Each structure stands twice: as structure tokens, then as C-alpha cells.
Amino acid sequence: MPAMQVLYDIPAPAKLNLFLHITGRRSDGYHLLQSAFMLIDWCDQLHFELRRDGQVSREDLTWALPEEDLCLRAAKALQSASGCPLGVHIGVAKSVPAQAGMGGGSSDAASTLLALNRLWNLGWTRAKLAAVGLPLGADVPFFLLGQHAWVEGVGEQLTPIDLPVERFAVLKPEAGLDTRSVFTHPGLERNTALAIISGFAANPYGFGRNDLQPVAERLCPAVSEAIAWFTNQGLPARMTGSGSAVFAPLHAETHLHLAPGKMALRVCNSLEAHPLQEWCA
């Protein structure tokens, strides 16, 4: 009798930065920041099939990904760190756009670590997985945390927060933005004063700004066009992460205009928690 096939089919949700302040820069070049990350229901779908030959492979189910994408890198990093002799075949159905500031790749890596922790029966804690995930991307520990968070340091200091449920319109220009190009731009301001959680909590969907946005608008004029599209409808919009996606909270009575040009428009809801929050201690 053949061995039973072991499969998982799981989501990898995106995030929005409700604000993003750059408060300084370390001597090693890493930026110090403050932000609030919110999970939303715009998700990639990942499919995992156990391989008993120790090989790690990937299949692109939507558009083509780089040869060593974050799913593969996460799987190989966990296999190496754990010494697990098992392997996996990963199918990646992308939906969250790349170079959008929505954490799609980091979320894929986090969901991969959570899935393989269970598929390979490792029994690792969330903190142990985060130690493997952080070198892959600064946002990976957030997606492993499994809930909205106040974020500080270089992105590794996470404080879980509760946020009121909200609906958002997210507009993604056709052009993307390279994170490194935004953070290394000479025009980037890096001296915003430190904020406190209580100040943010008093107005979570109107607090602060995105310090990366002025630079992003210079590098990618479509970000300005997306902001203007929202402004013309009376909606206060800002960019998420290092862009190029822009978002705004929606009122119940809002009827959105057609998205301009080749921009992708999606209405999203905030999540109460990551769909895999209970998959790890």
C-alpha cells in the first residue's frame, strides 16, 4: 500500500502599515522605525505536499517567481536549522502584488515556516521559528506573531495590539518600488520624534504619516496619482510600507470610481488574527 499523501493548503495574508515613521539610523546602516502593522484578507495561497526524499521543490501556480523565492529559502533554512530529513513540494498561487509594501514575500515565508513546522512534526516554538525567519526579511517575525502589532527597532520589536475592524480600499500602481532604493535615497528624512502607543490608539486610522512616501512619490509618480485618485473621492490615503500600494479606510456609503489606468484596485477587510495563529505555540 502506498504511503498516505500529506497535504496542506493555507493562506498567507498581506499587511498594511497604518503609519511608518523613520526615527533614526544605526551605524550598520539599518533604519530605526516605528509603525503599526495590520493584517488584511488579501492573501496568497500556498500548497504543501510532503516529500520523503528530502528534496525541496516549488511550482508557480500563477505568475513566475524568482528561482530562489522566499518560500524556498524559508523551507531550506528550516530544513538546515532543524536537521529534518524530510522535504516538501510547494505550490505558490500569488495574489498579493510584489514591490507593493504589503509584505507578500515575507508573509509567504512565515506561512511556509508554520506549515513545515507542522508537516515535518518539528514542534518548534514561534520564537524559534522567528530566529530562522528574521534573516529572510524584517517582516517575517510579524507574520509569525499572528496578530496586529506595534513595531519598533529595525522591525524586530513587536507589541501585539488590538485594532477596530475596518474596511480598506487598496490601490496598486502597475509600477513597483524597490525597498532598498527608497531607504537609501538621499532625500529620506530620518529624524521623526518617537511616538507612543496611546497616542496612536486614540486615532489608529488617522495617526502619523508614512515617512517613505515623499521619496517614493519622486521615484514613482504613479504613487502620487494613486493618492490623488483617493483625494478626489474625499478619502485620506497614504502609502503602505515602501510602496507602491496606497490605501484608505472606507466609509459604508463610499462608492469608488473606476481605478485609473492599469492600477489594481481591491477592497479588503482587516483580519482579527492570522489564519494560522493557532498553528504554533
Catalytic residue at 139?
yes
Catalytic residue at 53?
no
Per annotation, catalytic residue among 44, 108, 139, 211 = 139
SS (H, E, C) 166-190: CEEEEEECCCCCCHHHHHCCCCCCC
How many angstroms separate the Cα of 98 from the Cα of each of 64, 176, 226, 272?
12, 7, 17, 24
Per annotation, catalytic residue among 15, 94, 128, 172 = 15
User: How wide is the angle at C-alpha 240 spanned by C-alphas 234 and 246, nearest 5°?
Assistant: 40
* C-beta of residue 120 within 8 angstroms of C-beta of residue 56: no
Report phi then psi at 58, rounded to 5: -140, 145
Q: What Rg value do the Cα atoms of the chain yield, rounded?
A: 19
User: How far is it, in rounded angstroms, from Cα 158 to Cα 135?
Assistant: 16
> Which residues are marked as active site?
15, 139
